[in-house]
Chain A
């Protein structure tokens, strides 16, 4: 089954404790992306990657890191999480090319105390 898999689905942690949210897709997609979704603000793009070893900032990259060492994986790293990063996070992927729809994972709910 074609899918985007995120782990963990839920995480409660404390300020300053480094964490990684993994994202994996099995569709051989070139493009992958991370979003956060907050009430009243909608989905906002954090980082995206057009292909292996190529990453670019989205609209809200501060406090986040990403890497794309393999085509199927695109982890999101919070080096020193803060409470304002408490949010619902989504990973997505698509094939290369304009106008191609993105396929989303089911989300990771992060709570940072």
Chain B
């Protein structure tokens, strides 16, 4: 069964304290792994797509990496405006399967 698991469920950081979010997946025939950011009251906002093991992508303080079984979202020197829920999803055929998300809170 295709499945996506994210950890931790919630993460509290001090401003400037770097950390990583994990996304483990099992899917038959990965067609893309996605990271989204979701702010309260809003729809998910696309961040990255990763297609194959070893691939890395960066955007400002965020860096996403991919292995054959998991993906990491590294946050370097986070700021309060990085506070949001981060969602991981995998494409399996026509479906998009989401993990439950990691709620990130960054305190000044």
How many residues of chain B have a CB within 8 Å of chain A?
22
Report the minimum CB–CB distance from B56 to chain A (whole Å). Answer: 16
Q: Which chain A residue lies CB-closest to B32?
A: A99
Could you say which of A11-19, A68-76, A78-86, A100-108 contacts chain B? Answer: A100-108
Q: How far is the CA of A91 from the CA of B61 in the complex (A)?
A: 28
Contact between B46 and A103, CB atoms less than 8 A apart: yes
Contact among A4, A42, A59, A92 with B95 in the assembled complex (CB-CB below 8 Å):
A59
Report the minimum CB–CB distance from A47 to chain B (whole Å). Answer: 10
Q: Which chain A residue lies CB-closest to B9?
A: A40
Contact between B91 and A90, CB atoms less than 8 A apart: no
Q: How far is the CA of A41 from the CA of B100 in the complex (A)?
A: 6
B residues in contact with A45, CB < 8 Å = 95-97
Contact between B94 and A48, CB atoms less than 8 A apart: yes
Q: Which chain B residue lies CB-closest to A4?
A: B43
Q: Which chain B residue lies CB-closest to A109?
A: B41
How many residues of chain A have a CB within 8 Å of chain B?
27
Q: How far is the CA of A59 from the CA of B94 in the complex (A)?
A: 11
B residues in contact with A31, CB < 8 Å = 94
> With A42-B99, A42-B101, A106-B41 in contact, do A101 and B94 touch (Cβ < 8 Å)?
no
Q: How far is the CA of A102 from the CA of B34 in the complex (A)?
A: 9
Chain B contact residues, CB within 8 Å of chain A:
31-32, 34, 41-46, 49, 51, 87, 89, 91, 94-101
Chain A contact residues, CB within 8 Å of chain B:
4, 31, 33, 35, 40-45, 48, 50, 56, 58-59, 90, 92, 98-107
Contacts A99-B91, A103-B46 supplied; 9 other A-B pairs, CB < 8 Å: A41-B100, A42-B98, A42-B99, A42-B100, A58-B95, A92-B43, A98-B31, A101-B34, A102-B34
